[in-house]
Amino acid sequence: MRETETTPRRSIAFIGSECYPFVKTGGLGDVMYALPKALAEQNCDVKVIVPLYRCIPQEYKEKMVYRGSFGMDLCSDGRSFHVGIMEYVWDGVVYDFIDNEEFFSAGNPYISLVDDIPKYCYFSKAALAALLYMDWIPDIIHCHDWQAGLVPIFLRTLFADTPLRDAKSVLTIHNLRFQGIYNIPTIKYWTNLPDEVFSIDVLKTGVEDANMLKGGLAYADVITTVSETYAEEIKTPFYGDGLDAHLRHHAYKLRGIVNGIDVVQWDPETDNRLAENYDEKTVLKNKKANKKALQEELGLEVDDGKFVIGLISRLTNQKGLDLVNMILPGLIDGNTQVALLGTGDGYYEDSFRGFENEFKGSVCSCIMYDEGRAHRIYAGSDALLVPSLFEPCGLTQLIAMRYGTVPIVRETGGLKDTVEPYNEFENTGNGFTFDGYDAGLLYDAINRAKTVYFTDRERWDDMVKRDLAKDVSWEASAEKYKNLYLELKPEY
């Protein structure tokens, strides 16, 4: 039994807009699945509350159990709505889905702010009302991103005289760029919150708008974000997306805890999508087999001597793809191959298709998302490129290390916190980094990696083994969250 299991038990309700494997559009979905699972293994009682979207696969819906339903007042004119609760239990975690056809019948979780603002006003209140209905009063209510940003406000206002009043609230920022901003009259109507929360210190932003994330940050007992460096960055104007002053004001309750990954889902020793499985003892031999299989699959020239760079990303400006566009022709030198996987902005999709046409056999641009192919790129590449403009945490560099693939990253957010730069004098480090957002610096970092790969393979292989051995699981991060919960609710 782990030492963490002897610590006092705490109950935590996670409230967020997505959760793997039911519905996932990004890293939030991974965290909503993996962190509760890790906490359950550390003697926590965990419940996850998410909307029952139509897009959730039927294989999960048919295993859900009806827990009850009720009517809930919501709007300022007294309009009320149905709240249904469907439950699914898996791996020690209870998942409760809020059912309402009017709000959650669309094919995708996120549609447009016109639709999403009422939807998540309803969801934030319904999640708390469902906890009361089920008589499940948690020690901690852990909310995620702007879609649950109103939960701490509802908790301290409309639910202040209920049994939930003693629960502490944590609000985690996964990506500050998305904040849930809309005009005050609309949010007043859909929440019926008291006038005082629409002040400049809480919800109000600009002249006539309300910011749901900003309000949650003001009322939450603790704010967390997904890496220590990002917690510092978002207090500056460049990274703060208009909330830097607000975050500096609330800096006393801001913490950074880096994400982990699910090391069962991502395990080169058991991954059935790979050409050859491997561990620390067989990685050097069997990664070659995976490289050969990847080259064959993607139509790249089959040659173990090539340096294969993987790039798995949403194709957006945030991910540093403008830098990649500038340097990619210079990378293709006869010894280097690039395997890209992702979708996003049409401009980048077209540019990478163009690179594939121009450099047939050296560049493959897979403009799609294919889970199996992602696994094979992680396993078959020598290095993985993550040159982001900003990156709250980043999961791709963690997965790459798990597969013995050396990350090349910009020193920002969680990339800086998880990738130790290679030190040629001490033969330490687990990747290559660059600091300024500059194409020349990115080009230099890639060339430094290639130099070690081609001229000092023994040291490169040492780095591969260090990466594979690195603990990138949720266990350490979950323990930090549990200690935070114990700090918020110290009494046994």
Residue 40 pLDDT > 60, yes or no?
yes
pLDDT of amino acid 4: 44
- Tell me what the mean pLDDT of segment 140-167 comes to: 98
Interval 9-23: pLDDT, tens: 899 999 999 999 999
Instruction: Report the percent of the chain where pLDDT is more than 90.
Output: 93
Residue 108 pLDDT > 90, yes or no?
no
pLDDT of amino acid 125: 98
**Regarding predicted confidence, which is higher, 106 or 353?**
353
Where residue 26 falls among pLDDT bands split at 50, 70, 90? confident
Residue 220 pLDDT > 50, yes or no?
yes
Q: What's domain 3-260+475-488's superfamily in CATH?
A: Glycogen Phosphorylase B; (3.40.50.2000)
pLDDT averaged over every residue in the chain: 95
Q: Which residues pair with 45 in a beta bridge?
A: 11
Residues of the chain with CATH 3.40.50.2000: 3-260+475-488, 283-469
Contacts by 59-64 with C-beta closer than 8 Å and gap 24+?
60/21, 60/22, 60/88, 61/86, 63/88, 64/88, 64/97
Mutual orientation of helices 457-469 and 439-455 as an angle, nearest 10°? 110
- Tell me what the mean pLDDT of segment 187-197 comes to: 98
One-letter amino acid at 454 equals F
- Tell me what the mean pLDDT of segment 111-130 comes to: 97
Residue 342 pLDDT > 60, yes or no?
yes
CATH fold, domain 283-469, is: Rossmann fold (3.40.50)
Residue 91 pLDDT > 90, yes or no?
no
* Sign for the pseudo-dihedral over CA of 274, 275, 279, 285: negative
- Tell me what the mean pLDDT of segment 343-365 comes to: 97
Instruction: Report the percent of the chain where pLDDT is more than 70.
Output: 98
Interval 364-378: pLDDT, tens: 999 998 989 999 999
Interval 259-304: pLDDT, tens: 999 898 899 999 999 999 999 999 999 999 999 999 999 999 999 9
pLDDT of amino acid 3: 46
Residue 8 pLDDT > 90, yes or no?
no
- Tell me what the mean pLDDT of segment 84-113 comes to: 93
pLDDT of amino acid 492: 56
Are 223 and 173 in contact by the 8 Å Cβ rule? The answer is yes
